[in-house]
Amino acid sequence: MGIKLKELSKIGYTNHVARSLAVNIISKHCKHTAKEDIATILTDLLFTPDKYKGDPVWNKLAEHFSPTVKKKVFDVYELSDDPVVYKTYGVRFIDNLAKQQMNLAMRLPVAVAGALMPDAHAGYGLPIGGVLATENAVIPYAVGLDIGCRMSLSVFDASADYLKRYAYQMKEALRDYTHFGMDGGLHFEQEHAILDCEAFQSTPLLKMLHGKAARQLGTSGGGNHFVEFGEISLRENNILNLPAGNYLALLSHSGSRGLGAAIAQHYSQIARDVCRLPREAQHFAWLDLDTEAGQEYWMSMNLAGDFAKACHEQIHINLSKALGIKVLENVNNHHNFAWREEIAPGKYAIVHRKGATPAGKGVAGFIPGSMASAGYLVSGRGVSESLNSASHGAGRAMSRQKAKEQFTNSSLKKMLAERGVTLIGGSVEEMPLAYKDIDRIMPAQESLVDIHGQFMPRIVRMNKE
């Protein structure tokens, strides 16, 4: 028998962590218990938590209300000798360091499954393009600093030739209604329900970050984040249920800004304090989801994901209003996140996707190439070996530093001119040749997704590095 959050609040469970712990316990252990009996226990536990500390069901919640002082404040773990077996897609496109990082992740004692996508390349901790399933544990650094980073694609009620007729207006709209980089924000106030979310009041950290979130709402980060207009060619019987043809579209890529970064840094440090691992695996320190810190991070991570989505919503609303065009359909999907998912019949785990796109059966997604190559509207096939995942892009072929050393601004401008692409901002770090060929990556994952449309960038806005 379930119980609603409002009902928990009436009982006296007013903080988010207590409610999360209660919901988790009830869903696991009280499926056949009457709601009145659950409410009685919860009320009694609230006022006499020590009575329930030895209870196998309610002890975690009792500890939340009346923590026991323990001499030992951390656990020490060793890695398994052999990694859990996992599936690799497009192995010939993946560098050895990324493979080594994935093998290390699969030696964690909490690792139960994994997969490596064809766009994979070395990252910090879990490789970009790595998918890791763990048992009741979340790894802040396997989610990453840019929590909830996502792609958002809007298809407009305008044909592709709009790009030629109104190129000037679109460039001006991108300059006026988008903002990139660490500091500042848009020159006009943003309003969105995310800023009223009660989770912002649930921890001191989130309270402190609310002002920054308000300032950064509707903006994008630096690096490879972008907002771009282009044309999309939709196939027959596409997942958007739109007539086949060529449309004007808007694609954006960014995440949760300073909010996500602060959450990641804060809880990564807590994880390292309570979960001691060998030096080479320290980035993989985890938080048990039955602990208060684990529940706090889970709540904060979900808030950051919702904030990232809100930023994209504002970007698309602002630009469509400025140009007087209407959104017909939108597809958005995030990576750099963790989900509780069923990975086998009756078996649930925490699935971390570090730079990987959710690709459950029939789930819409978007996989970009570069600013001078195609991106693809897809739907997932729900392949269990990939943990219902696909690549989140083409993947880098060289580091940003190597790209800066190898390419010049003039070579970048020349290439974009040849491809008919206008760039506002940007730098040689994002040179298209610094990325893998998306049209070699897509065949490597044809078993994971079906293609429904092809998008070509035309006017791209990025941060000026």
Burial 143-162 (b: 16+ CB within 10 A, else e): bbbbbbbbbbbbbbebebeb
How many alpha carbons lie under 13 Å from residue 312 in its C-beta half-sphere? 27
Q: Decide: 86 and 116 in contact? Cβ < 8 Å.
A: yes
Residue 141, SS3? Answer: helix
How many alpha carbons lie under 13 Å from residue 156 in its C-beta half-sphere? 22
- Would you write out the chain's pLDDT as a tens digit for each of its 465 residues? 567 777 887 777 877 788 888 888 888 888 888 888 888 888 888 778 888 888 888 888 888 888 775 545 677 889 999 999 999 999 999 999 999 999 999 999 999 999 999 999 998 889 999 999 999 999 999 999 999 999 999 999 999 999 999 999 999 999 999 999 877 778 888 889 999 999 999 999 999 999 999 999 999 988 899 999 999 999 999 999 999 999 999 999 999 999 999 999 999 999 999 999 999 999 999 999 999 999 999 999 999 999 999 999 999 999 999 999 999 999 999 999 999 999 999 999 999 999 999 999 999 999 999 999 999 999 999 999 999 999 999 999 988 899 999 999 999 999 999 999 999 999 999 999 999 999 999 999 999 999 999 999 999 999 975
Q: Where are the alpha helices (DSSP H) in 158-291?
A: 162-165, 167-177, 204-216, 257-274
**375-380 and 449-462 beta bridge pairing:** antiparallel
Give the orientation angle of helix 204-216 with respect to helix 257-274, to 10 degrees.
150
